[in-house]
Amino acid sequence: MSSFAQQLIRWQKQHGRHDLPWQAQDAYRVWLSEIMLQQTQVATVIPYYQRFVASFPDIASLAAATEDQVLAHWSGLGYYARGRNLHKAAQIIVEKHRGEFPRAFEQIIELPGIGRSTAAAVCALAWHERRAILDGNVKRVLARYCGIEGWAGEKKVEEKLWQQAEALLPSQDVATYTQALMDMGSSVCTRSRPKCALCPVQADCVALRTERIAELPSPRPRKAVPERYAVFLLLMHGNDILLEKRPGSGIWGGLWCPPQFEDEGAARDWFVRNGMEANEGDRLDTFTHTFTHFKLHITPLRIRLERKPLRVEQAGSVWLDVEEALGAAIPTPVRKILEQLQTVRPE
């Protein structure tokens, strides 16, 4: 066993995290946590995870749920394709594997939403199988320790990181070692202001020895962030609001949103075309929601209707009380708008 692995295992047993709610060596819970933790911090994930397993304690209950129920539990966590893929994977496991999470790496990686690192994490943490992982935290630890230059998202750089991840893998205590890598990246070898004095492998860290901690790993090449604009039409009748289910693909696929348009003119045309009559209307403050690859500037237009239009009878549209809508599968910006509407209820 390499001294790197030995020192990390020893450190994890004394200083690592041992009270995370998914540390039960149960494949379902490990898989769920790994999906939720993709691009999301532990502190954010924990309450979502706890609510999720309370409603869906096993693969069978998750597979039996509707997509709406699953996405309602995912609402606010972002990257909603993760929730949709999780649901699809559970259904495949019930259909093809009798509800038992597959043991073979090759079968795990075939499930939707699961890549090489996630499949390896399940094998290592749930079954102590000798598999290397390479999530965001681990990439940072290895890039610094091994002195690997370049952006980790570049294929050649990622291949070097995988080679090191495989080479440093111990022959035993794999689950502890895997958790140690995650804990190191989360609490010691952090992106900014890393705690090098607390690092168990500082003596052999190339980045520390060559004073390149701040340079490694190289950041993602900077690009101008595109900016987009949208108008949300908040059609209100009393305290009910009209929501539409988004198509299955896309950033908010399968979620419920107010009708969305590129500009106020398009919103007005749609309103007239559907024969709606307004009592009054007002424009709420424009706000910005930032995605990974672009910024979306949202202007909500609130329209109070004299009567509910026939459009509610069309598939994919529903009238919900604002409070009820807050419990539905809605994205974060819609939640923000609905919470604002709740503070001003109609007389």
Q: Residue 198 has what pLDDT?
A: 97
- What are the structural domains, with CATH classification, of the chain? 3-209 (1.10.340.30), 227-342 (3.90.79.10)
What pLDDT shows up at residue 117? 97
Angle between the 81-97 and 27-36 helix axes, to the nearest 10 degrees? 160
Tens digits of residue pLDDT in 99-139: 999 999 999 999 999 999 999 999 999 999 999 999 999 99
The per-residue pLDDT for range 337-346, each reduced to its tens digit, is 999 998 765 5
Give 336's contacts (C-beta < 8 A, 6+ positions apart): 287
CA-CA distances (angstroms) from residue 147 to 180, 196, 208, 211, 295?
Answer: 20, 15, 9, 11, 34
> pTM for the full model?
0.89
Q: What is the pLDDT of residue 310?
A: 60
Q: Tell me, yes or no, if 34 is annotated catalytic.
A: yes
Does residue 323 have a pLDDT over 70?
Answer: yes
Mean pLDDT confidence for 295-316: 82
Rg (CA), the chain: 24
Tallying the residues shown for the chain, one arrives at 347
Residue 63's closest CA among 97, 108, 36? Answer: 97
Other beta carbons less than 10 A from residue 332's beta carbon: 13
Q: What is the mean pLDDT of residues 318-342?
A: 94
Average pLDDT, the chain: 93
Q: Which of 34, 95, 262, 264 is catalytic?
A: 34
Above 80 in pLDDT, residue 15?
yes
